[in-house]
Amino acid sequence: MAPRRLGFWQRFAVVLVKPVLTVWTRRTWRGMEHLRGDGGIIIVPNHISHADPLVSAHFIYDAGRWPQFLGKASVFRVPVIGWILHRCKQIPVERGSVEAVKSLDKLIAALDEGGAVVIYPEGTTTREPELWPMRGKTGAARLALATGAPVIPVAMIGPERMFDPRTARFGLRPRTPVTVVAGPPIDLSRWAGATPTRPILEEMTDTIMLRIRDLVAEIRGGTPPPLWQRPARTGTPEVSE
């Protein structure tokens, strides 16, 4: 099932990227029904490799939605590249308090238009040594609280075989196995209408990350560890059970 009514540059991106991924990966997709529909959704994948956006975009596209990723605003100001990103409906995100509010407004507008917004709640590839999810940042929770849009967890394994962030090594072998699974919307209803204070956003974020972690465990097998956080300067990593 492919998205309809794509613009020229969106179709160009599909023609450019999808054939490469079709050869490069052997895909196991599950849970696509949780992404389908016309309403705005917030998709929150785990982040294990720089190849993740390619794989998750392929999955979301095959589910019938057009993925809208967040990107540094500076990239959108690069001639030609920035113009194409805008035409492909990707979303620039500014840093700084005032500009961050403007970025949130853009995300809310994308959801109001029925967009499938992809946010990596960890903010970067996980630093957990075995690539389990780590504690997240609060952006996805803040957006969910502001909009009430469903938050869809996505777990994947396999992109680390395409590029392993621990060794910075590429794996270019055709038909690299990748598995991507989407779960049902995360129940965040107990925070509906809450004031977005730091404690509230952190509670929501931990709930989101624990659901992603458990979904990862379903496809990896084994018992998932507590959520990992970078070690503090004076101690050991903090964890969330």
pLDDT (tens digit per residue) in 119-163: 999 988 999 999 999 999 999 999 999 999 999 999 999 999 999
Pick the closest to residue 217 from 136, 153, 124 (CA basis): 153
Residue 228 has pLDDT above 90, yes or no: no
- Phi, psi values for residue 40, rounded to 5°: -65, 140
Longest pairwise C-alpha distance within the chain:
54
| Residue 238 domain flag | no
Confidence band of 3 (pLDDT split at 50, 70, 90):
low
**pLDDT value, residue 222:** 87
| Residue 12 domain flag | no
| Residue 14 domain flag | no
Q: Considering the entire predicted model, what is its pTM?
A: 0.91
- What is the chain's mean pLDDT, rounded? 90
Residue 125 maps to which CATH number? 3.40.1130.10
Interval 43-61 mean pLDDT = 96
| Residue 88 domain flag | yes
Residues contacting residue 7 through CB under 8 Å, at least 6 positions apart: 87, 88
Interval 45-73 mean pLDDT = 94
Rg (the chain; Cα; Å): 17
**Where is average pLDDT lowest: 23-27, 152-156, 215-219, 229-233?**
229-233
- Identify the domain containing residue 137 by its residue range: 27-229
Residues contacting residue 133 through CB under 8 Å, at least 6 positions apart: 46, 47, 122, 126, 209, 212, 213, 216, 227, 228
| Residue 1 domain flag | no
Q: Count of domains in the chain?
A: 1
What is the per-residue pLDDT across 159-171, written as a single tens digit (0 to 9) for each? 999 999 999 999 9
Confidence band of 237 (pLDDT split at 50, 70, 90):
very low
| Residue 219 domain flag | yes
| Residue 94 domain flag | yes
Contact indicator for 44, 153 with CB cutoff of 8 Å: yes
Residue bearing tokens 């929770």:
141
**pLDDT value, residue 158:** 96
What is the per-residue pLDDT across 68-122, written as a single tens digit (0 to 9) for each? 998 888 888 888 888 989 899 999 887 665 566 677 888 999 999 999 999 999 9
| Residue 140 domain flag | yes
